[in-house]
Amino acid sequence: MVVLSKALSIDGERHTGQDVRTQNVTAVVAIANVVKTSFGPVGLDKMLVDSIGDVTITNDGATILKLLEVEHPAAKVLVQLADLQDQEVGDGTTSVVLLAAEILKRANELVNRKIHPTSIINGLRIASKEAIKYITDNLAVKVDTLPKDTLINVAKTSMSSKIIGGESEFFSKLAVDAILRVKTTNSKGESKYPVKAINILKSHGKSARESVLVEGYALNCTIASQQMPKRITGAKIAFLDFNLNKQKMAMGVVLNPGDTAKLEGIRDREADIIKERIQMILKAGANVILTTKGIDALCLKYFVEAGAMAVRRCKKEDLKRIAKATGGSVLLTLANLEGDESFDASNLGTCEEVVEERIADDECILIKTDNKKSSSIILRGANSVMLDEMERSMHDALSIVKRTLESNTVVAGGGAVEASLSIYLENCATTLGSREQLAIAEYAEAMLVIPKTLAVNAAKDATDLVAKLRAHHNAAQTDATKKQYAYAGLDLVNGKVRNNLEAGVLEPAMSKVKMIKFATEAAITILRIDELVTLNPKEEPGHPEH
């Protein structure tokens, strides 16, 4: 007798095939539509209010997507994509999301026309490789061959869509000066520009134009006691990540000394332990002490007597940065490997001056190093919402200038690269005699989402402008006498097509290359999905309401 086993079932829902793809594409396009209107030099801002009522006003793609609590798994891929672009390049987060969503939308239409996803994926990969190769070979321009204000123009292009776009001349100079100050050279002789070495402080009041660049690392702290010196030259800095408070017995320890004299002795010893630690630090030559924790009144007395400057409640990341710039190290404890307490002078950082200065309405500590490896920007503005957005804009501009300096190549902005690639890939597609041709043709079409969105957001006739732009790029690729048309991009103020290389609308080539790579990878990741299994939550025993 044959017993038929009961069919295996899943405790959940299972969607397969085209339903899943359509669902994923709908979710991704919905996410892209959120950031679409914030794209470009005349993009609009978004106001996001979270569950506790905190307000954020921004048009930075990565920030908007981070603050949206996205539930759909495919849409989450896009949020991570924007975050990746932000970490790798620092700008171009909105364009990478728009491009990924458009590629996916068009790929889904091909699947509906009964073309296998694998053929489409192969086509997308070929298109992405060809596009990157074309950018590096034909569209990228070396910075050395351009005028001196190239860096300022790159920063201006990045800021054009931000809140400080109206003052982009002033802020781009600030960004370029700040990044050039932190130049370091690694062991291979390559120049590096760490954006994290630039500390951005925000101070309420005055207008945005009264923001300043300060030489040295500015700390948003004050000295712990007014009797301490406010300026120390030839500073030797100790970096501590522990409390400088009177030693206390651990919780739960019960003392039974028998007589009061012994109790007094214990109390005195508690005070002596911290005194010995402080003497140890001062004996090693430290005259500036920075700690992430607190310093109590008893300990302050010793520092005041020694004529040292002590600063409490510093941020740990600030401490690490200063330690790196001054050659010191952050200590978590004074205990050494043997279990004894000691403080080695090699842990001290040295700099030419530490001074407390009044900048704007607040005092802050400035650490000035002779090797000029750090700088700080103090932003001024009307309110915290504006200052937060200014900080995000400055971070994007600094990252873009850093990428330009490190890669030494730029491309024309304003949709020039995308329009050029669209024409090039269209021609490329016709040379292939396989199914991939269709995917490459759709990829070429998807590229136009960038100039189209730019034109729409600028309240211009997108169809007309994009047609003119394509005509310019077609001429550049077919007529040897019109090579300069390869840099044709949109002038969104006047609604014309112009040479954006001459107009100074520039972006680092690396930003475009990464954008194409990441957008294609994200689209392929989502396109590969053909089944969605949603498991039902398990009931916890004893909790029927679950």
pLDDT digits (tens, 9 = 90+) for 126-179: 999 999 999 999 888 998 888 888 889 999 988 888 888 788 889 999 999 989
Model pLDDT, residue 517: 93
Which residue has better confidence, 410 or 13?
Answer: 410
Q: Is 182 helix (H, G, I), strand (E, B) or coil?
A: coil
Q: Which two tokens stand for residue 468?
A: 């003119």
Catalytic residue (choose from 86, 318, 388, 396): 396
Stretch 253-264: mean pLDDT, rounded? 70
Q: Strand pairing partners for 364?
A: 357
Q: Which two tokens stand for residue 287?
A: 């005259």
Percent of the chain with pLDDT over 70: 94
Catalytic residue (choose from 58, 63, 94, 369): 94
Q: Which two tokens stand for residue 323?
A: 């330690």
Is the model's pLDDT at 270 over the cut of 60?
A: yes
Cα(160)–Cα(168) distance, rounded to whole angstroms? 7
Model pLDDT, residue 480: 80
Catalytic residue (choose from 56, 58, 63, 93): 93
Is the model's pLDDT at 5 over the cut of 60?
A: no
Stretch 94-115: mean pLDDT, rounded? 92
Q: Which two tokens stand for residue 404?
A: 């330009």
- One-letter amino acid at 245 equals N
Q: Which two tokens stand for residue 102?
A: 């458009």
Model pLDDT, residue 258: 67
pLDDT digits (tens, 9 = 90+) for 408-417: 899 998 889 9
Q: What is the mean pLDDT of the chain?
A: 86
Is the model's pLDDT at 65 over the cut of 60?
A: yes
Cα(178)–Cα(151) distance, rounded to whole angstroms? 12
Is the model's pLDDT at 516 over the cut of 90?
A: yes
How does residue 257 score in pLDDT terms, banded at 50, 70 and 90?
Answer: low
Catalytic residue (choose from 56, 58, 60, 453): 60
Q: Strand pairing partners for 141?
A: 410
Cα(154)–Cα(162) distance, rounded to whole angstroms? 14
Q: Which two tokens stand for residue 199?
A: 């500390």
pTM here is 0.84
Q: Which long-range contacts (CB under 8 A, 24 or more apart) does 327-332 make?
A: 328/237, 328/238, 328/239, 329/239, 330/239, 330/240, 330/241, 331/238, 331/239, 331/240, 331/241, 331/242, 332/241, 332/242
Cα(507)–Cα(91) distance, rounded to whole angstroms? 10
Stretch 376-397: mean pLDDT, rounded? 89
Q: Which two tokens stand for residue 367?
A: 């650490």
Q: Among 216-230, 253-267, 436-450, which stretch is predicted with the lowest mean pLDDT?
A: 253-267
Residue 93 appears among annotated catalytic residues? yes
| CATH 3.50.7.10 residue window(s) in the chain | 217-371
**Domain 12-143+415-534 CATH assignment equals 1.10.560.10:** yes
**Residue with token string 């107009």:** 503
Among 88, 123, 64, residue whose Cα is nearest residue 523: 123
Model pLDDT, residue 440: 93
Backbone φ, ψ for residue 308 (5° rounding): -100, 160
CB atoms within 10 A of CB 187: 5
| CATH 1.10.560.10 residue window(s) in the chain | 12-143+415-534
Residue 26 appears among annotated catalytic residues? no
Model pLDDT, residue 201: 87
Tell me the fold of 217-371.
Answer: GroEL (3.50.7)
The separation between the first and the last C-alpha atoms of the chain, rounded to the nearest angstrom, is: 43
The dihedral region occupied by 61, where left means phi > 0, alpha psi between -120 and 50, and beta the remainder, is alpha
Is the model's pLDDT at 87 over the cut of 50?
A: yes
Cα(88)–Cα(510) distance, rounded to whole angstroms? 10
pLDDT digits (tens, 9 = 90+) for 517-541: 999 999 999 999 888 888 888 776 6
CB atoms within 10 A of CB 290: 28
- On whether the CB atoms of residues 24 and 526 are closer than 8 A, the answer is yes
Q: Is 451 helix (H, G, I), strand (E, B) or coil?
A: helix
The Cβ-side half-sphere exposure at 10, using a 13 Å CA radius, reads 9
How does residue 448 score in pLDDT terms, banded at 50, 70 and 90?
Answer: very high
pLDDT digits (tens, 9 = 90+) for 361-374: 778 888 887 766 77
